Structure 1
């Protein structure tokens, strides 16, 4: 007679990342946000590709449902900066461009060009054309003669030569790009879209941020304050760093650990009618003085002023300088 041998059961070890999913998802009473240290540890595992796809999706959507905190954004950013280990490159303005435009042309690109022509060193970075029906910075680099830089060495050269460089996120933080690309798989934007605006990978003198959804601007300002960064956050047109001249603009700033607020009046007495379609060639024509665009030129001047405000000019000075930059622009530069 054969005697059955008892089963030997072995409890599997818990995955190291499970702790962070559990913190966010443990029911209405048990769930909480991540501390700054926990956020840093979680993002480190994500960047090192030590997380299962199921965990990644759950983590991103739990954060999206809860809404990310300033402490979480600060912890995530610290992990990204440590992982990227970017070389020391002097930058005046960090200019994230991740939203794309759908109502108006991306006039902010002319503002960046104008600033660069006047010696302001600008790093732009973006995450690709992830949403249909929008016009993205990456699609206009050739048209507007903005250098596309695929590594930090080319960023450094472009900043020295033209004071403007565009560095795709996929080249210096591919793990974050992968998370952004899950937009169409998960059906929702993830907190990575917000995080990308805080990163300031080269430690620019000022980070500009555009946050479209109300209430998030103050959260982003607080994240930058926690990181010790100088930043100005606005609700830019379409989610891009572009002042809408038709409405009042609220600036959420942080300088040397102190938060400040400033409100700019609308530049136009009445709202402009949005164009029937977005024709990028209009950007070139307006830059060259071959066409006029009331909305566009106001947006360019106000956005230049925003950057100058971030570089410690007061509002009146910023607008006066911005207008002089625009009038004296090098029309052959595009």
Structure 2
């Protein structure tokens, strides 16, 4: 490990990227914790300064995938990969969106953990606790059975990929973004051919497009969404990169093009507020800005997965699923099944 630290930790001008083979070795040392806590922290900080290369990111993703439980034979769907450090200023549209997609017969994989640095925001994990679901205490088969029935899989990432739990203390002590903030979102627990991946800065579009090509997704969309999430904005255009067959194309998604641009209410997005807004959207009783944001995101993902021929068709489909309360029925069944599940 010391040899790798000497290469990545020479400072901004002297540091070099590790080769793919070297990065695999470094990732293995860290994920297995054969490296010491001091070495792991030093590596994370050096990579943060240098910026991770595509090969280094790929190595960490593949080593985490190797360490994770990734069930086989799940229906093909979309993985919604948002930041594990949560949200403070933005509505968690992706959660409500997942039940709209499931109602449209598109399987969805969600995943997360209790909040992490640097943001320490509200996470999906926090929201599940608020509605009486403790996913970290549920057996895998309960989560999978619920997913097969409702088409929504939630993965408690630290339980299904134990190194993430083991490395949490170091990440909390550092208090900053590390290579794991990207890699953990790409473990792909459901072996999904489609991906919606959130980023904060558009400067990483090209690098992540090359990474996703190496990871062999059928079609990915990188979204510069609210708070670095995979959620398209509803009050302004969103920059996205669509990656398919090795090609990456910039698309700017403008809600105004479909008459959906709506102001979003400013509020303190606590756990309780996120849960209340999610349920109100699925019942059709929320602020129109929140409803429109969920409809736009669901329609875009429906088109992304090839289930509709256009975003316009997706909008009609998703509006109907909300108005008929079919999405709410899926949510009720999903939450009821997980609330009543007991760890064996």
Q: CA deviation at 1:203?
A: 1.8
Q: Is the 8 A contact 2:221 2:240 kept in 1?
A: yes
For the residues of structure 2 that align with 1:199 and 1:170, how far apart are their CA atoms?
12
Does 2:81 correspond to 1:96?
yes
Q: Report how many residues are paired.
A: 317
Q: Is the 8 A contact 1:96 1:197 kept in 2?
A: yes
Q: CA deviation at 1:233?
A: 0.9
Structure 1: give runs of 5+ residues left out of the alignment: 1-16
For the residues of structure 2 that align with 1:126 and 1:219, how far apart are their CA atoms?
23
In the alignment, what sits opposite 1:74? Answer: 58
Q: Is the 8 A contact 2:64 2:184 kept in 1?
A: no
Structure 2: give runs of 5+ residues left out of the alignment: 333-344
Q: 1:277 to 1:187 in 2, by over 3 A?
A: closer
In the alignment, what sits opposite 2:287? Answer: 293
For the residues of structure 2 that align with 1:200 and 1:105, how far apart are their CA atoms?
24
Which residue of the other structure, out of 232, 235, 247, is the alignment partner of 1:246? Answer: 235
Q: 1:147 to 1:179 in 2, by over 3 A?
A: closer
Q: 1:55 to 1:207 in 2, by over 3 A?
A: same
**Which segment is superposed worse, 97-106 or 226-235?**
97-106
Does 2:82 correspond to 1:119?
no
Does 2:94 correspond to 1:108?
yes
Q: Is the 8 A contact 2:69 2:160 kept in 1?
A: no
What's the secondary structure of 2:255's corresponding residue?
coil
| 1:136-171, Cα deviation, whole Å (9 max, x unpaired) | 111222566878374543343122111112111111
For the residues of structure 2 that align with 1:299 and 1:269, how far apart are their CA atoms?
9
Q: CA deviation at 1:120?
A: 1.5
Q: CA deviation at 1:56?
A: 0.2
Q: Is the 8 A contact 2:113 2:156 kept in 1?
A: yes
| 1:177-221, Cα deviation, whole Å (9 max, x unpaired) | 343553431131212111122221332021211011231233222
Q: CA deviation at 1:101?
A: 1.9
In the alignment, what sits opposite 1:9? Answer: none
What's the secondary structure of 1:182's corresponding residue?
helix
Give the alignment of 1:12-51 within 5 angstroms: 17-51=1-35
In the alignment, what sits opposite 1:315? Answer: 311
Q: CA deviation at 1:276?
A: 4.8
For the residues of structure 2 that align with 1:224 and 1:189, how far apart are their CA atoms?
20
Which one has a larger percent helix, Structure 1 or Structure 2? 2
Q: Is the 8 A contact 1:180 1:193 kept in 2?
A: no
Length-normalised TM-score, structure 2: 0.83
**Which segment is superposed worse, 169-178 or 56-65?**
169-178
Q: What is the root-mean-square deviation in Å for CA atoms of aligned residues? A: 2.5
For the residues of structure 1 that align with 2:262 and 2:11, how far apart are their CA atoms?
48
Does 2:185 correspond to 1:213?
no
In the alignment, what sits opposite 2:159? Answer: 171
Compare relative contact order (CA 8 Å, sep 6+) and give the higher one, 1 or 2: 2
